[in-house]
A and B are shown apart, each in its own frame.
Chain A
């Protein structure tokens, strides 16, 4: 019973080797083929006689396969004793390539002193097609990524250019406004002011002849003189607010002092200025910018904060000027912090390479601007 069961089993082993669903091939280390199964022969069309007549495995490979065999497969097999899932191509008897996946292992054969390489071959025709598709897809994807990246880079640079154009435009607008205000202030003071002064002189002349007027005329004259004097005062204020002449004549500290005094007088907010007597002069455009920043801050405080007091502090070091405007009001509403006034301030500060920070909570707001002096253009050196 035992014998009759073993015989068919041994037949099965041979059968399994020859007709396995994969190719089997044994070779010496140099590739000389020692044995091959029927599946391998069926797949490749070669005969056992030819393959066992001293043929070497690498001779069955396509030329690129031979290069891969010599540079990667063989060294790997020598070094680690096995190679797994290597893609190669066997040249069939017809000359067509058969894509295969090879696993090889180096073994000491029983009863044979030489080292033997045992390899299995799997038909990888479909797999290779799929791999090619995958490679093509990856290449396409990489190309798309590259194209998209390039497009994004273009968009980013266009956006940057637009932003820089906008900055330049804003800066020009601010300058234009400053100049316009300066001109308007001068016109108001010079021409309108002169005309009104002449009107006052005429009214004074009439007043000297007022005995010829009736009571109603006298009253009208007095009122007219009063109105014109009031107008002169108003125009003076408006003109100074548009551009305080002190800013050009005696500098920023005196312009700010005048402005804060007027601000406190006109409204119900007591504004204090903290500035050193040694503060000195700065380039004209920088002094104007600082004045406008303080003006904008105090206007905001007056309009929105509800604070009764405000403190304006200015310091300067060798390389920086620092302005801080503080109120003790209800804090800045979110929409205000994105408003046009603050944006204008930010643009002014950034034009000088400075930074603007706003800290606001329910107990008040602090606006701080720091403008570097070191980055001033040499032509705009600090005036004595």
Chain B
């Protein structure tokens, strides 16, 4: 297996030809798509992956400098597409990965035909008139939380992460849990995510995009969805009934129908 596919634990399945590339957000891994993917398996080629540092990605590939901005993650995404020879795919990105998809689309315009942006935010931190929803103090508090929450985990996680567990029963137990990441990498990703500011990049995208906006979302509030919609020239804003930041988990049916609705003309073009 080539480097990017192994590094990002890329999984490809499905019966169709049009690629759907799913990118998970901060805090989880490709498992978060498990309630969504069955609806697309028969019609599309599904591509799932873990960002470096998350899930079953290659932790040794983590590089603080490369991943100091979202560009490092966008470069990985483009590498995956290039190694799988994907063109004109549909990108589905959640949260911070929505912006990672936008950065990749700007760098290589032919890579994606459309973008599905679930709970996107170009800038999480409030800045003057701009309301991102999060303050710098909130972010500092979050990092402290991560410290507390990973304190217990890190001791038990370390041997598994290192692949040298001398307690196989622990490893088995952890295999059944999701969204476990190396604590230091998780903190780093949190900082990079919440300090990112890609508002200026929104104007550079012209391919069709849909914004799936939850009705109540502490991380990407509706006002941010509206901002993204205004700045993305060719975008549709879909206000969902679902609340929270992960509609693909809390309201998978609604999320699937929103995505299918956005893609329906693609299928009719394909079929005609």
Contact = CB atoms under 8 A, between A and B. Distances in A.
A365 interface: no
A67 B138 contact: yes
Contacts of B28: 71-72, 75-76, 79
Interface residues of A, number: 32
B246 A67 contact: no
Contact of A76 (B139, B141, B178): B178
Nearest to A77: B249
B176 interface: yes
B244 interface: yes
Interface stretch (B63-71, B83-91, B143-151): B143-151
B12 interface: no
A362 interface: no
A362 B246 CA distance: 80
B152 A71 contact: no
A87 B218 contact: no
Given A30-B250, A78-B246, A85-B152, A72 B141 contact: no
B2 interface: no
Contacts of B25: 71
Give the residue among B95, B134, B217, B218 with the most A Cβ atoms within 10 A: B218
Contact of A75 (B32, B147, B176): B32
A75 B246 contact: yes
B170 interface: no
Give the residue among A30, A86, A128 with the most B Cβ atoms within 10 A: A30
A132 B141 CA distance: 12
A131 B149 CA distance: 10
A370 B32 CA distance: 64
Contacts of A88: 145
Main secondary structure of the interface of A (DSSP, over half): helix
Interface residues of B, number: 41
A105 interface: no
B142 A64 contact: yes
B15 to A, nearest CB: 25
A58 B244 CA distance: 9
Interface in B18-73: 25-28, 31-32, 34-35
Given A31-B244, A75-B249, A79-B32, A87 B176 contact: no
Interface of A: 29-31, 56, 58, 62-72, 74-76, 78-80, 85-89, 128, 131-132, 134-135
Given A70-B244, A79-B31, A80-B176, 19 more contacts: A30-B242, A63-B137, A63-B138, A63-B141, A64-B140, A64-B141, A65-B145, A66-B218, A66-B219, A67-B142, A67-B219, A68-B142, A68-B146, A70-B246, A79-B32, A79-B249, A80-B177, A85-B152, A135-B151
Q: A-B pairs with the 8 shortest C-beta distances?
A: A64-B141, A71-B27, A70-B245, A78-B249, A63-B138, A64-B142, A87-B148, A66-B218
18 contacts: A30-B242, A30-B243, A58-B244, A64-B141, A64-B145, A67-B134, A67-B142, A67-B219, A70-B217, A70-B219, A71-B26, A71-B219, A74-B244, A74-B246, A75-B27, A79-B32, A79-B34, A79-B249
